[in-house]
Structure 1
């Protein structure tokens, strides 16, 4: 009795499957010899429960993130790890990260990304932009409870400051000199353009807000400058000490996380991605 090529290959495949044993390579990697046509299928979807918990939580709420990390603490899982991205104001906790000699799957994750408050977002939307009198006055009116106007060391009433912005006018003055000689003539002209208001124009504003949920209230100083050279003045708000204050927000974010979840998860500054 002769067997076909397909029958022989089938018998060989079955023999390989029956005799297959894991082969451990130096370094701990396990492989097995299997026929080319054999594929592995998970039966997890047919079981009442999953083989292990895995998933990703994404939230903007520091409070909910903290509660989830505290409730998710599981001594049976590999060691967790936490990573703080201060530039993005975000944090990631991998609950089954493990260690180099006892690595976990790293697929049970919680991600926190702080969302700017409405007031802080509004501030970032106008800082550094050239605004018309109407645009700036309306923005000041919208965020009146968060603002304080200053003229040097003097505090101004906000309504007075808003009126000063609305009632600004452009004033132009010219001065010309002429000198004529027998063989030469010279003429110079100096034009001066300045913006003035019938009310005292503030030199700066203090904008008070919580920049992100979970952080403390911050006072942000905005220096007011006027751009002339047009029929109507343009106004610009400059954030005084912007970079230093943003760094302070990031440091405060790290300190808050250390206080809230540092006792549950070791935290590291930086980002992390699992290798394949």
Structure 2
């Protein structure tokens, strides 16, 4: 008598149940009926087979405390200075005994409100009211200065920005000779204010929590090509200052967790 496919499957399933086929894996697994599928039995244990998970934070202090508290042997950290972030792998292992690299801590520094404001204002074209309102909002961190570097009271700086006027003058010169004539014209446009217009704004701000205070110099220029004056703030030495902040980030991390993990610049893909 020929056996049906269902009967053969039933015999196979019964045999597997009877032998209790287990697999030689760290996490307990077994071969079960219904197509001999492999099922992870970890969820049925009282404890997990190994510690794993991802801790994420914006706080440099909390990240450092977590890493130092864990202090796993062989922990490796990878610092991305462009992103102001660090990924620390507790179970990376090595080439001889590679780990799963799924027990990690991730730090992504969040810029402070003041640093975000400095980045968003720099380089943009601003109306008089926009800049005066911005100075008023951040006045406790700002020091307006003139061309000589002397401080200007914030109230006067705000008034100066609000009362800018554009004055245009024209001058022409005509020269006549016996056989020729020439004419030249010169237009001069000048922006003036009733108060002393600041040459720059010194913005004192902590860029990221856990790093030291920085002084950002925002130089003011007035664009007079339109019907109304437009102001622009240029972040003096922006690239150099950003690089200094990134270097300080690495130094602070090395000082706080350098004894608990080996650090390196760059990123690591565990796939």
Alignment-derived partner of residue 236 in structure 2 = 240
- 2:187 maps to 1:191: yes
Report the 3-state secondary structure (helix = DSSP H, G, I; strand = E; otherwise coil) of the residue aligned with 1:250.
helix
CA distance in 2: counterparts of 1:85 and 1:218, whole angstroms: 21
Query: Pick from 85, 90, 113: which aligns with 2:108?
Result: 113
Report the 3-state secondary structure (helix = DSSP H, G, I; strand = E; otherwise coil) of the residue aligned with 1:247.
helix
Report the 3-state secondary structure (helix = DSSP H, G, I; strand = E; otherwise coil) of the residue aligned with 1:99.
coil
Q: CA deviation at 1:195?
A: 0.3
Q: CA deviation at 1:233?
A: 0.8
Query: Pick from 202, 205, 217: which aligns with 1:209?
Result: 205
User: Normalized against structure 1, the TM-score is what?
Assistant: 0.85
| Residues 67-86 of structure 1 mapped to structure 2, 5 A cutoff | 67-74=65-72, 79-86=74-81
Query: Pick from 43, 46, 54: which aligns with 1:45?
Result: 43
Query: Are the equivalent residues in 1 in contact too, given 2:72–2:260 (CA < 8 A)?
Result: no
User: Normalized against structure 2, the TM-score is what?
Assistant: 0.87
In angstroms, what is the RMSD of aligned CA positions? 2.7
Q: How many residues align?
A: 263
Alignment-derived partner of residue 136 in structure 1 = 131
CA distance in 2: counterparts of 1:53 and 1:138, whole angstroms: 52
CA distance in 2: counterparts of 1:133 and 1:99, whole angstroms: 60
CA distance in 2: counterparts of 1:271 and 1:74, whole angstroms: 20
- Residues 79-114 of structure 1: CA distance to partner in whole angstroms, max 9, x if unpaired? 221000000000000111111111111111111000
Residue ranges of structure 2 left out of the alignment (5+ in a row): 25-32
Q: CA deviation at 1:246?
A: 0.3
Residue ranges of structure 1 left out of the alignment (5+ in a row): 24-34
- Residues 140-190 of structure 1: CA distance to partner in whole angstroms, max 9, x if unpaired? 111111111111232222211121111110000001223456775543321
Query: Pick from 168, 180, 196: which aligns with 2:164?
Result: 168
- 2:255 maps to 1:264: no
Query: Pick from 58, 61, 65: which aligns with 2:59?
Result: 61
Report the 3-state secondary structure (helix = DSSP H, G, I; strand = E; otherwise coil) of the residue aligned with 2:143.
strand
- Residues 38-76 of structure 1: CA distance to partner in whole angstroms, max 9, x if unpaired? 22111122222221121111110111111211222345x
CA distance in 2: counterparts of 1:135 and 1:208, whole angstroms: 20
